[in-house]
Amino acid sequence: MGGGLVRIGVTIFPGSNCDRDALYAVGRMGAEPVELWHAEADLKRVDAVIVPGGFSYGDYLRPGAIARFAAVMGPLEGFAAEGGPVIGVCNGFQVLCEAHLLPGALLQNTHMRFVCDRVRVRVEATNTPWTAGCEGGEELTLPVAHNEGNFFADAETLARLEDEDRVVLRYLENPNGSANDIAGVCNEGRNVVGIMPHPERVSDPALGSEEGLKILRSVLVGAGV
């Protein structure tokens, strides 16, 4: 990692709207925030990538469906394949599913309404770069804000995710009808994580909670900082 700060990239698609919040939270983590513009096929030597929330490309077609074709996704997929730490938050999770970097899909909430709330989740797996700083079984209260957060996968995939310990976060109060109360999963290599809750929104004592930093700062633990 060299002597400098850990560089953490935040992708910016047209319609991303948590990009600035994520960049701010990276600063709160004690890392260096780096903007990754969608039209540039360049990860700018970052050590980890956050794909933030929002409505990339207006969520037209399906959430995340168009963003996966953006220029920045090429190098991002290469980075992920080489084991680079990537986390998709909310719309970012949807983008990573559409790009097949993560299994499953995020369907419309079963109650058919957008939901913005704080929900309790349990950390189910700590052997990922984004949860290494948490305690196994630890309960966190994290914000959610989505219309399509209802995780879906076929029975076989769900069984595999459970068997392989790839459910990273699980809702203690399910806000969207998600299968197996899944709030976050990781890929087979465990370096790519997708979660619906927004850790960047609880990364500042001024907003009443820093529980999100436990997730975000995990990547610094993994990076040996």
CB atoms within 10 A of CB 115: 15
Pick from 127, 185, 193: nearest CA to 153: 185
Q: Residues 38, 124, 148, 198: which is the catalytic one?
A: 198
Active site residue 116: no
Are 115 and 149 in contact by the 8 Å Cβ rule? The answer is: yes
CB of 64 to other proteins, least distance (A): 14
Point out which residues bind other proteins (CB under 8 A): 14-15, 17-18, 20-21, 24-25, 39, 53-55, 57-60, 109-111, 113-117, 143, 145, 147, 173-177, 198, 200-201, 203-204, 206-208
**Catalytic residue chosen out of the listed positions 98, 148, 200, 211:** 200
CB of 201 to other proteins, least distance (A): 5
Tokens of 60: 């037209």
Q: How far is the CB of 15 from other proteins (least distance, A)?
A: 5
Cβ pair 225, 1 in contact under 8 A: yes
What is each CA distance from 18 to 14, 24, 52, 110, in whole angstroms? 11, 10, 6, 24
Give me the catalytic one of 90, 97, 134, 186. 90
Q: Catalytic site residue 200?
A: yes
Residues annotated catalytic, as ranges? 90, 198, 200
